[in-house]
Structure 1
Amino acid sequence: MKISFVEPHLKIYGGIRRIIELANRLTERGHDVTIFHSDGSPCQWMKCIAKIKSYGEVLKEEHDVIIYNDPNPIDYKLVKKAKAKLKVFYVLELYQKSLLKGINPKIYLPWNKRMLILKKCLCSPYLKLSNATWEKKWLKENMNIDSILLLGGVNTKIFHPVKVKKNPNEIRILCSGDPRQRKGTKTILEAVEIAKKEEPRIVLDTYYGKGIPQEKMAEKYCSADIFVEGSWHAGWNNPVAEAMACKVPVICTDIGGVKDFAFHEKTALLVPPRDPEAMAAAILRLIKDEKLRETLRENAYQHIRQFDWDRSAKRLEEILNYELSIKKGSISKIYVAIRNPRKALDKVKTMLREALQRRGRFDKYERLGAYHWDFYKNDPVYRAHVDYIVENWKKRPSGTLLDVRCGDGLISCLLAEKGFEVKGIDIEKEGVRLAQRKCSSVVFEVKDVFEINEQFDYLLASEVIEHLPNPNEFLQKIKGLFRKEALITTPKRNYYKELDPYHFREYSIFEFESLLEKYFKNFQVEASEYHLYAWVKKNGNG
């Protein structure tokens, strides 16, 4: 593919880093990649193997794909005029979100010109990519705009743990020092002054504008005892991700830009934006609590490593190939629609009906039959998942067990073979009918969990909560249905894969733990490559 990026410049900013990382990897994958920017000068701070040209060359060439992200008038007009099979707006930041919703006259004020262009970009017919999960969700909920999630990554060749000799008589706090108001440096300065009254060993350090080479950035991060970030808003917060990759404990503001990797008291301490007192308290807490520092450091390092530029570039390549294939077939589809509009309308109605059905109910059993039994024979990933469940239940004393949303009965049947007295319930009639045909040793009923009032020794909810629009009601209900222990499983979120159309949400291990903590006190989560398993003990439940 001939893939072109349009950027205002190639200066040292997080958004530019993202484009260069993607452009480099797409070039390595064999694509013809060019970055067009204002004067066409080479990037001075980061290696770029993609071609670099000036704005003036954009309209002289034809492009398979042209991608832009900065809502400035020059980039917007260039992309609008460019000859490209596919045009893409990559949403990196939403800035003043209140100006984007509905009809807001303030967006037409001269000083809001950038926001007006951003809204035009968002409302354009171009393909939209979202930079972070919160952006994708916000755009859909507030502007009814669909976008495809394309998360970034961390370059671990640049950002990684290194040993740095530290002064034992000081506690070094690092922040970027970015002077732009929305970056919250003023709040950090105030917080440090408050904290120093109790802990005078604190020393504040920054790196913004100091010309530190990229190969020295890991050393800079690792020289700190704590990294602090104070942004008011962000699309994807690069400094926080980079600090985590360097194994530095993090305090950051609780904003959308960190939601994919900063989880309070698990991978970071989160504080409200523009609250120096809260930030000072978090700094002092981390200084005093060595165990918490180590927990945050290790958890964050393990979590952030899954955000990888190679995976991001591969995902972008998949998206672009798919969208181009759709466009390639669009001419013939338009021709058919013109020649036979009734047939085209019926096709659209069918597609809409199927989409609504999939969101409203689980129709896989009607379409695929008892597919779990086939998966268990033929899919090694699913077989490993089921074997984990069965083998671990086998270690428990036998007793009564409720299998919630039992589906076609595979796991219920295997547990019955291990000596458990199993009752399987599901709201899908076809699933229960298939289960009854497959296994006579289990009592299967078409019933919702909210209709169950009896207690069982054990409870299993395998691959259930991801299908629920409100998992909180479900977890609250099942608390009272078991006497000894429950197992709740869910797929482990893959950040570089589209959400399963039958799932309302998928969870990282820390999101899963945060959800369970609302209802259970005594549980342990184990993780495989593809699944999460929460063993919940009755004793100590809230």
Structure 2
Amino acid sequence: MRITFILPGYPWRPVGGYRVVYEYANHLVAKGHDVTVVHPRKMRQTPRPVGLYQVFRTAAKRGRDFLLRPKLEWQWLDPRVKMVYVREPIAQYVPDGDVVFATAWQTAEYVAKYPLSKGRKFYLIQAYEIWGGPKAQVDATWRFPMKKVVIAKWLFEKGLELGVPAEEMRHIPNGIDLKKFHITTDITNRPRRVSMLYSNTEWKGSVDGIRALEVVKKEFPELRTVFFGTPSRPASLPDWIEYYKNPPQETLVEEIYNGSSIFLCPSWTEGWGLPGAEAMACGCALVSTDTGGVHDYAIHNETALLSPPRDPQALAENLCRLLNDDILRVRLAEAGCANIQYFTWDRATEALLEFITSG
């Protein structure tokens, strides 16, 4: 089959939703399918810049995107996957095919208007994106006449709430590359070290994570902490927090995940939560907010410790539980790692193919 994915931008930095699409692309071409991933420079829903700084910043980004093409260093991509960069994801820039996937609410508005020659229309829903667009507009895309693949149980339930027929949706959880993300350091022999993904995006909850760790640090002064992320190290970050900017895959797996006993996820919302799942595959015990996006793999007191979003004190209490009880930490880490073995890209790709060929 000829399968096209429409992403909402260029892959200049690591983005979880892009990684999901690239993993599907890799596995689909390995099965003999012809896959194209389209990346637009702009989309009509992009808000106009406000203020002189934003005007110049937007102009600089557009100039960069016009002149340059990203070198995809943060994700391996099968050379058979066609990477296409276009001005805008309108039909004339999209190849004809058998299947076309929207991958964000903005791209869904474009895909909905494509002619039949572009293929049967599907919508890969990876989040409830009201943080990225007007709620009424985002909700309307869920009701477009195209079949939906949702990556988490809570998104399936959200679809039902929005009036999407159950038969129009398929719940296909993400996968983890278990050849990359695996245990190299014995779970029972790890330091008191907590790792966390840092982001400037407010709903990722990094401020809450730092506040929780400051509480824990008072009780456990010897606690070591390591953050990683795409931004430069924030000036406000406490000196006792180690920081890696854009760590290579090997560093992430060996030094950060396998070098930690606990992984902290303080997000206010998540579509599925790839870093938490990756950390579990590498033997970390997971302390997370109860975002819904972790429910596919995180069960409170069985494979993780969960607490309400936007509550740093509750996160701190769960961290202290594990730091005070190594038997509990090991039990959760082992159960979490065993559970995450189900989530493979082979399984996800087979389910995706079954759905798009089922009529």
2:109 alignment partner in structure 1: 76
The yes-or-no answer on 1:18 pairing with 2:2 is no
Higher helix share: 1
Contact 1:130 1:149 in 2 (8 A): yes
Q: TM-score, normalised by structure 2?
A: 0.80
Contact 1:159 1:217 in 2 (8 A): no
2:150 alignment partner in structure 1: 130
In structure 2, relative to structure 1, the CA distance for the partners of 1:165 and 1:67 (3 Å cut) is: closer
1:92 alignment partner in structure 2: 126
Contact 2:112 2:144 in 1 (8 A): no
In structure 2, relative to structure 1, the CA distance for the partners of 1:142 and 1:62 (3 Å cut) is: closer
Match of residue 232, structure 1, among 248, 260, 268: 268
Letter of the structure 2 residue corresponding to residue 312 of structure 1: A
Contact 1:41 1:54 in 2 (8 A): no
In structure 2, relative to structure 1, the CA distance for the partners of 1:261 and 1:241 (3 Å cut) is: same
What are the residue-to-residue correspondences of 1:477-492 with 2, within 5 Å?
A: none
1:314 alignment partner in structure 2: 350
1:201 alignment partner in structure 2: 222
Once the two structures are TM-superposed, the CA of residue 21 in structure 1 deviates from its matched residue by: 0.5
- Report the Cα distance in structure 2 between the residues aligned to 1:165 and 1:150, rounded to whole angstroms: 29
Contact 2:101 2:122 in 1 (8 A): yes
Contact 1:95 1:234 in 2 (8 A): no
Once the two structures are TM-superposed, the CA of residue 276 in structure 1 deviates from its matched residue by: 1.1
Segments of structure 2 that go 5 or more residues without pairing to the other structure are: 42-68, 231-244
Once the two structures are TM-superposed, the CA of residue 29 in structure 1 deviates from its matched residue by: 0.3
2:74 alignment partner in structure 1: 45
The yes-or-no answer on 1:278 pairing with 2:314 is yes
- Report the Cα distance in structure 1 between the residues aligned to 2:124 and 2:20, rounded to whole angstroms: 11
Once the two structures are TM-superposed, the CA of residue 75 in structure 1 deviates from its matched residue by: 6.1
- Report the Cα distance in structure 1 between the residues aligned to 2:105 and 2:328, rounded to whole angstroms: 41
Q: TM-score, normalised by structure 1?
A: 0.54
Letter of the structure 1 residue corresponding to residue 100 of structure 2: I
Match of residue 152, structure 1, among 174, 196, 203: 174
Contact 1:249 1:294 in 2 (8 A): yes
Once the two structures are TM-superposed, the CA of residue 248 in structure 1 deviates from its matched residue by: 0.6
- Report the Cα distance in structure 2 between the residues aligned to 1:22 and 1:90, rounded to whole angstroms: 11
1:5 alignment partner in structure 2: 5
Match of residue 250, structure 2, among 196, 215, 232: 215
Match of residue 118, structure 1, among 127, 138, 160: 138
2:97 alignment partner in structure 1: 63
Once the two structures are TM-superposed, the CA of residue 306 in structure 1 deviates from its matched residue by: 0.3
Once the two structures are TM-superposed, the CA of residue 202 in structure 1 deviates from its matched residue by: 1.4
Letter of the structure 1 residue corresponding to residue 29 of structure 2: T
- Report the Cα distance in structure 2 between the residues aligned to 1:89 and 1:121, rounded to whole angstroms: 9
Once the two structures are TM-superposed, the CA of residue 51 in structure 1 deviates from its matched residue by: 1.1
Task: Name the SS of the counterpart of 1:52 in structure 2.
Answer: strand
Q: How many residues align?
A: 307
Letter of the structure 1 residue corresponding to residue 249 of structure 2: Q
2:209 alignment partner in structure 1: 188
Once the two structures are TM-superposed, the CA of residue 84 in structure 1 deviates from its matched residue by: 2.3
Contact 1:41 1:53 in 2 (8 A): no
In structure 2, relative to structure 1, the CA distance for the partners of 1:144 and 1:121 (3 Å cut) is: closer
The yes-or-no answer on 1:245 pairing with 2:281 is yes
Once the two structures are TM-superposed, the CA of residue 139 in structure 1 deviates from its matched residue by: 1.3
Match of residue 183, structure 2, among 161, 164, 173: 161
Post-superposition CA distance 1:245-270 (Å, at most 9, x none): 00111100112101111011110011
- Report the Cα distance in structure 2 between the residues aligned to 1:31 and 1:222, rounded to whole angstroms: 35
Once the two structures are TM-superposed, the CA of residue 167 in structure 1 deviates from its matched residue by: 11
